[in-house]
Amino acid sequence: MQTIIEGKAYVLGDNVDTDQIIPAEYLTYNPSIAAEYKMFGKFALCGVPPGAAGLPKGHVPFHAPSDEFVSPYKIIVGGRNFGCGSSREHAPIALAAAGIQCVIAEFYARIFYRNSVNGAYLVPIECPTRLIDTICTGDDLHVDLAKGELKNLTTGDKWAISSLGEIAPIIEAGGIFNYAKSVGMLKA
């Protein structure tokens, strides 16, 4: 697992639910088929209402006009209760397919958090500071998981982030099944 994550931020608000992350009509795609996996990236966050993106100047598209499958953003900054709603495991898959490496939120709906960890799709980071009020979409961020620090390279601001704790080895192994195999819980 990489301990440094850098990239542009895409800021969302509170209570971003799994239907906003990947609406139900796109669940017919199979993420284990490469061509269909890309479609999850294409439709990631298409259910977020324009006013819900937590942006002072209106909605900023998640995808660049030149690439409809992968976003120019690498880090999502969310508020409270990120990933609430249904227990859709496709939500972290869609964000990962769009190129998101981590989500930083005040706290998560537990099912989204576990789905992110269990599949090692992305790193769910918690930060007790309300970042959506200070970080803007497009800011360049630097996450140092080893130091437990988030830096906004655009503004110079720094914040402490919560340790990954017991989930770090699961993400590092590539998901819960790989982790279970590596520690002898499952036969290889």
Question: What's residue 56's pLDDT?
Answer: 46
**Structural fold of domain 4-182:** Aconitase; domain 4 (3.20.19)
Question: What's residue 49's pLDDT?
Answer: 81
* Burial (CB count within 10 angstroms: exposed 0-12, middle 13-18, buried 19+), residue 57: exposed
Per-residue pLDDT of the chain (188 residues; tens, 9 = 90+): 789 999 999 999 999 999 999 999 999 999 999 999 999 999 999 998 876 655 444 557 888 777 789 999 999 999 999 999 987 899 999 999 999 999 999 999 999 999 999 999 999 999 999 999 999 999 999 999 999 999 999 999 999 999 999 999 999 999 999 999 999 898 86
- Residue ranges of domains in the chain: 4-182
Phi, psi of 2 (to 5 degrees): -70, 140
Q: Is residue 83 within 8 Å of residue 111, measured between CB atoms?
A: yes
Question: 3-class DSSP state for residue 98?
Answer: coil
Question: What's residue 124's pLDDT?
Answer: 98
Cβ neighbour number for residue 138 with a 10 Å cutoff: 14
Question: What's residue 52's pLDDT?
Answer: 61
Question: What's residue 107's pLDDT?
Answer: 97
